[in-house]
Amino acid sequence: MTEPYPEHRPNVGVVLFNAEGFVWFGKRFGAEGPWCWQFPQGGVDEDETLEQASLRELHEETGITSDLVAPLGMTEGWLAYDFPPEVLAQFGKNRWKGQKQRWFAYRYLGTDEDFNLTAVPPREFSKFRWVALSETPALVISWKRQVYARVVEAFRPFSVTRTSPAPSKRKG
């Protein structure tokens, strides 16, 4: 069997759903502009399964450990995107044309206070918010939107239908 997307780096993405069905969305550390938000994602090490990679990336980027999540689902097959020319130019002689991803959905069992965005350097996110899954493609950089739209379709059963979370009741 031929490996799908052999010129794309193997990668995982994580969609974390809270009890209300909203998803965790992080603002990339040091990034500015309207499209600097994304889900946790990252590469797969040679010695780990895709699920192990998803839990490792979740911990590295948010500080959340596997005991605070419960599995909900996973996308079928690889979802891929190509890097635009300006991104490829930044990588120099990078061998990857883009990224191929398997996405994992988890139910979040903790509280907002459990997140530690500086737990594992280097820092990936500067802050986070809870949003409706359907809103996420419009908030990411354009060349990732097609993949995010497919993630929305795959994980729609776990999400809410309204477009903004209820106001926080947390004080302070």
Position 169 pLDDT exceeds 50: no
The first and second tokens of residue 33, run together, are 């502009």
**CA neighbor of 116 nearest in space, from 66, 60, 168, 169:** 60
Query: What is the CATH architecture assignment of 10-158?
Result: Alpha-Beta Complex (3.90)
Q: Write down the domain spans for the chain.
A: 10-158
What's the pLDDT score for residue 69? 98
Place of tokens 């005991």: 67
Q: How confident is the model at residue 170 (pLDDT cuts 50, 70, 90)?
A: very low
d(CA 126, CA 128): 7
Instruction: Note the pLDDT tens digit of each residue in 122-149.
Output: 999 999 999 999 999 999 999 999 999 9
What is the value of pTM for the model shown? 0.90
H or E element in which residue 85 lies: helix 85-91
Distances (CA, A) of 23 to 20, 107, 127: 9, 9, 14
Q: How confident is the model at residue 160 (pLDDT cuts 50, 70, 90)?
A: confident
Instruction: Note the pLDDT tens digit of each residue in 97-127.
Output: 999 999 999 999 999 999 999 999 999 999 9
Instruction: Note the pLDDT tens digit of each residue in 38-63.
Output: 999 999 999 999 999 999 999 999 99
Residues 6+ away with beta carbon under 8 Å from 85: none
How much helix, strand and coil, in percent to the nearest 5, is found in the chain? 30, 30, 40
Torsion, CA 9, CA 25, CA 161, CA 165, rounded to 10: 180
What's the pLDDT score for residue 34? 82
